[in-house]
Structure 1
Amino acid sequence: MAQKIADETDRRILKELTADARITNNELAERVGLSASACLRRLRRLEETGVIKGYTALVDPTAEGWTMTAIAAVRLSRQHEDEIEMFETAVRSWDEVLECHLVTGSRDYVLKVMSAGLDQYERFIKEKIARLKCVDTIETSFVMNTIKERRI
C-alpha cells in the first residue's frame, strides 16, 4: 500500500487547507513553497488517495436555531446484528445528530446532538431514540462551554 502523506510538504498543504479550504491554489503554493503546478499535482494526489475526503462549510449552529449541545451515551439492549443495524440506520437519518461513535466501555454509542433547547432535546429523546426497541439506556450530559474544537 502506497503511503498517502508523502512528506512534510503534504502536511503543510493539509494544515493550510484545514485553516482555509477556500484558499486559491496559487496562494496555497506560495504558503507551502511550491510552484502552482507542483502544488496542484500534490493536491490532486491527496484527493485521489482519499487523504482529502471533501470540502465543506462550517455553519454557525445558531443559524439553524441550535443553541444547545448534548452528549448522549446509549446502551443497546442486546448487541445483535439486527439491533445494531436498526440503531445505526435510525441515527444516520436524524439531523439533530452531528456525530455518532461506536465506543468501548459501559455504553455502546456516544452521540453529539444539537437542539434549540431542553424542550426540543426532550422531544428528540422521546420521539426518536427512546422509541427504538433496541435501546436500553440513554445517559445525557449537556455541554456548558466548548474549550477546544478542531477539525482535521
Structure 2
Amino acid sequence: MSNEIKLDAVDREILFHLRRDGRLSNVELAKRVGLTPPPCLRRLKRLEDAGVIAGYHAVINPEALGRGLEVMIDIEVSANDLKTIETLEETLSSYEEVVEFRRMYGRPDYFLRVAVADDAAYNTFITGKLTGLPGILRVESHLTMKKIKTED
C-alpha cells in the first residue's frame, strides 16, 4: 500500500462485498455495509487512493475463450547468470498461454499457470515453446483434479 491506513470493520466489510461483486453500485454497497452513500463513497475513494483496492476486473470464463484446460507448471533453471534469467522471464511472460507467472524462493524456481484449449494444445505449448529454452533444467506439469477454492 502506498499510504498505510488502518482498516476498521466497515472498511473490511466494504472489501468483503467488493471481492464478491466489484460491480456493486455505491448505493447498494452502502446499504450492505450500513452506511449512507456519501460516507461509503468517501471510504471507497480512500481505499483506492491508499492502494488497498488496486483495481477492478472482469472474471472471464476460460472455456468461453477456448482455454478450458489449466495446468500448473514447476520450472527449475540451470542458469545463474542474470542475462539468461532476464531473457527467460521475458520470454515466458510474453506467452499468451501463461496466465500467471511467479519466481519462487527455493525450489521450484518458477511457477507457471497455463490455460490452453486441450491436451493437444498443451503438448504444442510444451514442445513448441518451453522445450529447448535456454536455462530450463526441468519442467513438471500438474493437472487440476478439482478446483476447491479460488479468488476468481
Distance 1:106 1:10 in 2: 37
Give the counterpart letter for 2:33 in structure 1: V
1:50 paired to 2:51: yes
Q: Deviations for 1:37-58, whole angstroms, at most 9, x for unmatched residues?
A: 1111111111111111111111
Q: Give the 3 Å change call, closer, same or farther, for CA 124–6 of structure 1 in structure 2.
A: same
Shift of 1:2: 4.7
SS at match of 1:140: strand
Query: What is the TM-score with the length of structure 2 in the denominator?
Result: 0.91
User: 1:86–1:134: 8 Å Cα contact kept in structure 2?
Assistant: no
1:141 paired to 2:142: yes
Q: Deviations for 1:8-47, whole angstroms, at most 9, x for unmatched residues?
A: 1111001100010110001101111112111111111111
1:65-76 matched pairs, under 5 angstroms: 65-76=66-77
Give the counterpart letter for 1:117 in structure 2: D
Distance 1:68 1:4 in 2: 40
1:33-44 matched pairs, under 5 angstroms: 33-44=34-45
Distance 1:99 1:109 in 2: 10
Other-structure match for 1:120 = 121
1:14-93 matched pairs, under 5 angstroms: 14-93=15-94
SS at match of 2:84: helix
Q: Deviations for 1:52-101, whole angstroms, at most 9, x for unmatched residues?
A: 11111111110011121111000111232212211221222112111112
Q: Where in structure 2 are there 5+ consecutive unaligned residues?
A: none
Percent identity, aligned pairs only, is: 37
Shift of 1:5: 4.3
Give the counterpart letter for 1:105 in structure 2: G
Shift of 1:131: 3.6
Distance 1:39 1:104 in 2: 40
Shift of 1:130: 2.0
Distance 1:16 1:77 in 2: 45
Shift of 1:103: 1.5
Aligned residues: 151
